[in-house]
Amino acid sequence: MKFADIIGQAQIKKQLTDIVASGRISHTMLFTGPKGTGKFPLALAYAQYLLCDNPSETDSCGECPSCKRVESLEYPDLHLIYPTIKKKSTDKPKSEDFIALFREMFKGKPYFSYIDWIQQLNAENKKAGIFVSENESLMHKLSLKSYGGKYKIFIIWMLEKVNMETANKLLKALEEPPEKTIFLLISDHTELILPTILSRAQLLRTQMLKSSEIEEGLIRHFKLEPSEANKFAVYADGNFNKAASLIQNSDAIDDNLEKFAFFFREAYRFNIEEIDKAVNQFKSMSRDTIIEFLQYSLFIVRNNMALNQQLDKLVKLTDEEREFSAKFSQLITPHRAQILASEIEEAVFHINRNVSTRIVMFDLAIKIHEGLKTKVK
């Protein structure tokens, strides 16, 4: 993947090419920033630039054998580490066991999300992580000589999913990296990463994409008409992956809206039997899918507050979401929106820390009821 293929992020692209031009290449970089802004594509484009046989001042050539193999995630000196699953409790999974699935996902959707990967693994009810079994593979690969005589590059995607023991092994590698070894770390949640790892990495923060950048990307990648691309770009809220999902998976978006309407409606009515039914719909979901739903809920609440305050320019909703919001937005004053957002974020915090999903979601339903019934200030 070339820098030219990356949507937006002009500042980081220039920063990366300037780093190479200066010769001051950091052995550890951490790509972070909002979801759907291209952290993995950026890291891969940088790796391709470093490994390219004929790079220009601003990009890799995209044509040499090295570029072709990086683009297909098959270059011998490019090592990928990412969350995996245990099919049985005795399994010792490693990233390389799932590389065919990972390549398939990347080929079809370069701006993929963690939820996309969970679905690719068919692991809705399993916890994915970077387990201790990754250690032996990591240490072995670190000991190998570079195949191409340039750099050995390790891209670790979703660093926050690293098992603690693996994190400590990684920390040792970061403290004393082998010669010409580069770690490109990627994370959506740096607050979950060991501070000692953060302190050893050069931080690169992606920016939320502009609607015009997403529109251009949709036209390029999906061959959409400008008017159609503009519609999806506006709804994407700075997230290219969301825009792609709106195009490719509109049914899933409808499901989220349906779940949101049911959950909030029963919480507002405060019928315990119906709340119990609403909570039970989350039983079959993975924690990551529940977190995705909660983040969607935050998105709907914030947009409905904008509607409530007649700030139409800030509203980014689909036609179906707008139809639902016609009445719902009447309840979502700034004060209530602040209460609801705080409670939803608290639920995300507890789900991330493995608190019972039933307890968290039932408690959230009660807090939603209290928030929606609170007096308007």
* Entry pTM: 0.73
Q: For residue 321, name the pLDDT band (cuts at 50, 70, 90).
A: confident
* C-alpha span between 367 and 141 (Å, rounded): 49
Contact call for residues 250 and 318 (beta carbons, < 8 A): no
The predicted pLDDT at position 163 comes to 81
Residue 306: the pLDDT is 94
Each residue's pLDDT tens digit, 140-189: 898 888 887 789 999 999 999 988 888 888 888 888 888 899 999 999 99
pLDDT in tens, 250-292: 555 568 888 999 999 999 999 888 889 888 888 778 787 788 7
Q: In the prediction, which pLDDT does 233 show?
A: 82
Q: What is the per-residue pLDDT across 357-373, written as a single tens digit (0 to 9) for each?
A: 999 999 999 999 999 98
Strands annotated E in 43-98: 78-81
250-373 to CATH, choices 3.40.50, 1.20.272, 1.20.58, 1.10.287: 1.20.272
The Cα angle at residue 347 between residues 343 and 371, in degrees rounded to 5: 25
Return the CATH number of the domain spanning residue range 3-205: 3.40.50.300
Segments making up each domain of the chain, as ranges: 3-205, 213-248, 250-373
Q: Which residues contact 147 (CB under 8 A, 6 or more apart)?
A: 76, 77
Maximum Cα–Cα distance across the chain: 68
